[in-house]
Amino acid sequence: MLRYINVSFIWVLACSLCTVTTALLFNPETVNAYYYIARYTILVAFIIGTLASILVSIDAFKKKAWKFSIKAVAMVLVFIACFWVTFMIFVVSHQGV
C-alpha cells in the first residue's frame, strides 16, 4: 500500500499549510481570515504532518537502507520545526503579547 502513496507530497502539503497559514497573519488584508481559519488549518496540518511522518518512517524501515532513514529523520525534524514556529506564532497572536 505504501508504494502507491507519495509521502513526500503529503509532507510538503503539511508544511505548505503551516507556511500559508502563518503568511496570512502578516498580510494586512488577510489578517481577519487568519483569525477565523488558523486554528483549524493548523490542526489539519498537524494531522497530515503526523501521518506523513509515520508513513515515511514505516517506508524507511521497510527499505532498510541508511539513506532512507536519514531522509525520514530529516523530514520529521523539519516538520517539527515548521509546526513549532507556526504554533508559537498562533499562540502569541492570540495572547496579545
pLDDT of residue 28: 87
* Residue 55 contacts residue 1 (beta carbons within 8 Å): no
* Residue 26 contacts residue 38 (beta carbons within 8 Å): no
pLDDT of residue 47: 93
pLDDT of residue 77: 92
Examine the pLDDT at 92 and tell me if it is beyond 90: no
* Stretch 3-24: mean pLDDT: 85
Q: How far is CA 30 from CA 44, 52, 62, in A?
A: 19, 28, 43
DSSP state of 97: -
Cα 68 to Cα 71: distance, rounded to the nearest angstrom: 5
pTM assigned to the model:
0.82
pLDDT of residue 48: 92
What tens digit of pLDDT does each residue of 22-70 get?
A: 898 888 888 888 888 888 998 999 999 999 888 888 888 888 888 888 8
Examine the pLDDT at 95 and tell me if it is beyond 80: no
